[in-house]
Structure 1
Amino acid sequence: MRTIDKKFEEYKQIQVQAPSDLEGRLRDALQYVPVKHRKVSKTVVWISSAVAALILMVGAYEYPALAYYFNKVSLNSLSFAEVMEQGVGQRVDKSLTLNDGTVLTINGVIADDNVFRMYYTIDRPAGTEYSDDDFLRYSFDQVQGFLTHSKSLGGGGSPGKDKSQFIGENEFEPVSPFARTLTLVFNEWLDNGEKVSYSISFDFEANKAMKSIIKEKLSESIAVDKGTIHYDYITASPTSTIVKGHYELEEYPRFSGETKLYVNGIEVGRTRAEAHNPDFSLQFDPFPTDHIQSIELVLDNFEGYHKINEPISLASPSDRSVKVGDEKLWIRSVTKTRTGYDIVIARKQFTFLETDNLAIQAGGKTVSVASISEERPWTLNNGNILWEQTYSFNTEDIPEFLICDGYQYIKTYNKKISIPVDRRK
């Protein structure tokens, strides 16, 4: 959907001396941050929002660069105990007791430049079994700390050792590397509709954090029919790979298309952009290997535009397909009505005729469309489904040609950009 300057290499230990007044100066200056959606238990849906963080600060502190070598085991599929076996993550084991006796325990956290992930357990009072309503009432709000205000990116989980326990994980925006203490704000919605907020704070240990494997600024772009897609940054971490960019298009696209990521010629994943015009973000799985020889992004498809230069004949309708550019249009019928003529046209689901100048030629005159119906499905004999609409025209003359400027559709581009792996900071 979150460095090319570095291959997977052994992190070197770095000694960092922070001035004693650094925190105060930074606070004054900066007053006041496939996520891949994992399967959620059928009986549990989580209302998202924040959790805690890690990392260094104050005095002389050591930032050991993770004795972590990225391996082929995806952290996304592991429990926290298994994550710890991989040699990463910080154990927290900090609990918060709610007013009704329910206990929230933060088991541990891991962090990188893409996400902050919290592993937690919720235990209902002894002898109490959870229900759907029990867990819908809880939500993570945010994680606060020095220069940190991290929002939830979502998460999931499943029942634990018995029916009174839930084991979950939740991801958040990255936290500041200067936070020493993080505070999770946790909400509970009571039966009367009121919200009760709790907070739980814990220390963060810098030497347990994970850093990005690859973090690189890009200057790559791909031309599409109505502009250019620019790729600005790539961050590959042990939890995910995120590519960020922006659009320079004539208009915001109806659909973002599909992009694939290849590492050493092997497809890591494919995704569609999460966009906030004009910016977008692509999130993929983590790299599958620590030996990087090539990284490629392939724009498989994206919104396209085809200009229709010639009028389309309406002489012999009856579910007749007409090839127009890469797509087909089906002229289903031309029917006389009390006020003129109705023309039924079918097309693929994500093909859209431009309607601003849609018209017909009839009796030597150009007649603009008077009304357009809602789209409706048309099921073919082979099981495929097309989408049809009725276009009405006020004229007594028999329609001869359909006039349309063009159509938007999902176009196959299959354009590739290669990201160099030999850059170094």
Structure 2
Amino acid sequence: MRTIEERLEEHKQDMSTMQAPPELEGRLRHALEATPARKKKMNRAATWVLSSTAALLLLVGTYQYPAFAYYGSMLLNKIELSSLSFAEVAEQGYGQTVNKSKTLNDGTVITIDGVIADDNGLLMYYTIDRTDGSVFTDNGSFRYGVNHIHGFLTDSDPKEGNGNHSQDETQFEGVYKFEPVSPFSRTLTVTFSEWLENGKRATYPISFKFEANKAMKSIVKEDIAQAIPVDQGSVHYDAIIASPTSTIVKGHYEMKYEGAPRFPARTSLYVNGVEVKSWGMRADHSGPKGSPAFELEFDVLPTDRVKTIELVLNNFSGYQKVEKPISLASPSDQSIRIGDEKLWIRSVTPTASGYDIVIARKQFTLLEKEHVSVQAGGKTVPVSSISQSRPWDLKNGNILREQTYSFKTTEKPELLLLNEFHYIKTYDKSVYIPVNSP
């Protein structure tokens, strides 16, 4: 695989000969007017967790993506984005400087300092300066918000953000990551918001020119189209997009039941045998035929010389059918193995209304009421109530959860009838992604 520096030099040469037709936007806009508007995505919440690395822009089709700057190997070396202000970025010659401001009625100034974008999103650096002698109150970070970005063929929601106050608390300096913007947008409008003292919410749009001149592709952009079989279905990994700001893996679930899995898949990413830090998961129902889908976000790739990419499904929802009844003759703190899991029958105690059975299990092993009963005096007796779970400390570093299951019977229970249960199952299965050198 060629290095990023080699591709950058080649890309600069291509840029001198490639240019989008001037009438392209008009043709696209005309076509768009005849197309039904797409449904707005439901999740508009911004999660205040961002630690990534900066940045780069997308190349779409045969036309150059509006780009700002390519971050070379110096900035790709694990520098956390939250530790960089845009001034620090600009000092090294990277990013598009914007410097567009809006002054509010009380004199507060909101400024978009600069932006950077790539296949996985757009990063916006901004500052909020309070008027002289005024500081951010305790809830100042929540008073001002960032909503979305609009532009030609663009309606991008914020995904995550981070920021800090100055020492004198007169300035807030932040960065937000948005969904990718359209490659054909020439002007972008960011909408900021403020909660006023009267409880109403004011909005402040700020528009700026979106430049299109220095685009680059992502480091890796591959279809995966591989699945791992699991209990009651399969986990599908659809695509991976790796750029100098983050690495995104998209996938979906195909299960034998409706709805989302009880527990999401925990997946690890390895590049050239080195694990890449995970930043979390987002889920929705955008998979095939509305099936549950997920999007995994990882750190930037540790190298641009990608030889191998491996995804490992560490654990996921497990299903265990219980074929044999469990004896209640000798309750103890000794475990009972059922498939890959263990249960503990700690006690069987008579009560005024029947019998209580204390059962312990791992935190995410679910024994549901409709699948729990006992055999007592030759009859099957369903559970009448289940207590809240409480910790059981084994004093060896393991803390389990126990609950009391009550049964209304005058006969002492002989057998626990447990039809099935769900739990987090270890899979440790891999898919290997072929890497195509550009």
Q: 1:220 aligns with which of 223, 226, 251?
A: 226
Report the RMSD for the aligned CA atoms in angstroms.
Answer: 2.8
Q: 1:73 aligns with which of 67, 72, 77?
A: 77
Gaps of 5+ in 1: 40-52
Structure-1 residue corresponding to 2:153: 147
Give the letter for the 1:302 counterpart. F
Partner Cα distance (2:70, 2:50) in 1: 27
Structure-1 residue corresponding to 2:44: none
Structure-2 residue corresponding to 1:340: 354
Q: Which has the larger displacement, 110-119 or 301-310? A: 301-310
TM-score by length of 1: 0.87
Structure-1 residue corresponding to 2:381: 367
Higher relative contact order structure (alpha carbons within 8 Å, sequence separation ≥ 6): 1
Structure-2 residue corresponding to 1:49: none
Q: Which has the larger displacement, 98-107 or 346-355? A: 346-355
Conserved? CA contact 2:152–2:184, under 8 Å: yes
SS in 2 for 1:356: helix
- Provide the aligned length of Structure 1 versus Structure 2: 404
Give the letter for the 1:148 counterpart. T
TM-score by length of 2: 0.84
Note if 1:274 corresponds to 2:289.
no
Q: Which has the larger displacement, 92-101 or 368-377? A: 368-377
Residue correspondence of structure 1 range 26-425 to structure 2 within 5 A: 26-31=28-33, 37-38=49-50, 69=72, 72-74=76-78, 76-77=80-81, 78-84=84-90, 87-160=93-166, 162-208=168-214, 211-251=217-257, 252-270=260-278, 272-277=280-285, 278-382=292-396, 384-422=398-436
Give the letter for the 1:144 counterpart. H
Conserved? CA contact 1:148–1:176, under 8 Å: yes
Tell me the alpha carbon deviations over residues 216-251 of structure 1, each in whole angstroms, 9 at most, x when there is no partner.
222111111121011111110110000001100124
Partner Cα distance (1:210, 1:315) in 2: 70
Note if 1:23 corresponds to 2:25.
yes
Gaps of 5+ in 2: 42-46, 286-291
Partner Cα distance (1:395, 1:373) in 2: 18
Partner Cα distance (1:124, 1:325) in 2: 62
Partner Cα distance (1:422, 1:56) in 2: 17
Identity among equivalent pairs (%)? 56
Give the letter for the 2:354 counterpart. G
Partner Cα distance (1:287, 1:23) in 2: 34
Deviation at 1:198, TM superposition (A): 1.1
Tell me the alpha carbon deviations over residues 242-293 of structure 1, each in whole angstroms, 9 at most, x when there is no partner.
0001100124222113211111111112465321141111100011111111
Partner Cα distance (1:187, 1:180) in 2: 23
Q: Return closer, same or farther for 1:64/1:10 CA change in 2, 3 Å cut-off.
A: farther
Tell me the alpha carbon deviations over residues 201-225 of structure 1, each in whole angstroms, 9 at most, x when there is no partner.
1101122555422212221111111
Partner Cα distance (1:356, 1:210) in 2: 56
